[in-house]
Structure 1
Amino acid sequence: MEALLRILSIIFLVLSACLIGLDSQRIVLFHLISRKASFKDMNALYVLVWIDSAAAVYNLLQVCRCYKLPDLKKDKPASYIYLEWGFYLLDQAAVYVVFAAHSAAAQASIIALTGQKNFQWMKLCDRYTRFCIQIGGALLCGYFACLVMAITSSISAYVLFKRYSPQKFMVLKGK
């Protein structure tokens, strides 16, 4: 189950990174000036592409770990407890970093959508509508990836903290 959730988060992260990284739109002003909008124009989107890519690679390595290491539930040597703590902490860090990056990009995108009259920033999404819609879809995919990664992190927390509980932890009572 953990491997399937990680694969799903990889799909959403790669989709988000590709939608942002390959998105660009060119408009021509007054038949003379050509202006192109891309993800490199906004630093939050540029950083988001790199963070999504790194999180996808991390989840890919964790999928390989799911198939290469012996099952930690059956075979419980004491040395694996440090690995479980490391996996748990890395999962938590990955979720928080991806969520923070997507929230920063969403905030910057809202400013591009609505503008800011105090700073005399104009609304960019009035001119670059396809670009903004694609960025919005990418942010939505990124938030789905955050949700799936949070579920995966709770699974790794369950595996870790199950070691510290009694034998009949989370067992339903019979009638």
Structure 2
Amino acid sequence: RLDQRHRVEAELRQRIEQLEKRQTQDDAVLNVVNRYWNQLNEDIRVLLQRFDAETADESENKNESEATTSFLMQLSSWDKEELDDKLAHRVQVSKRAVSKVVQAFDRLSQRNEKITLALKGEYDGGDEAPNIDEVVRKANSEIQAENRNLQAINIQLHEKYHTMSLKMSELQDALTGKDTLNAELRNQ
């Protein structure tokens, strides 16, 4: 009877180890998914800025700040129903952002097509063909506005890169310190 109990305990320990290992693997996968999802949302935000089409409402800005926090930490505190709601909301925000990028790209394509047709003299509209000088002036002013927007984004990205580089150096120094402390403790 004692042998049977030891066997059951050993099997249960093995099962616990397997479950802990699987939990660790699942956490690692969730970390990767979360990181790439956050990167997708950030890339979409930059694209929307690039197209000068970002019309984020307050709930999207709130969600963006939530996305920068650790989603996994939040996962542990939500019950199943709340988790489903939060994930659905996050998916909805991402879908809306992608839709805005597609719309902005479509508007840009239509504008470029209109300019091309006007320059070729093949305007298809029901009205008379627009004056080429007018089309070129309008395109020039749009390009200048886009250039200013790109310069502002470039400055923001440089600032973000600088901040992240400093943070990376700080974390690298902390890691080096911990590694040194770890090595010292092993040598004692």
By relative contact order (CA 8 Å, sep 6+), the higher-ranking structure is: 1
The structure whose residues are more often strand, as a share, is: 1
Q: Is the shorter-chain TM-score for this pair beyond 0.5, marking a shared fold?
A: no
User: Which has the greater radius of gyration?
Assistant: 2
Which band: TM-score by shorter chain?
A: 0.3 to 0.5
Q: Normalised by the size of structure 2, how large is the TM-score?
A: 0.40
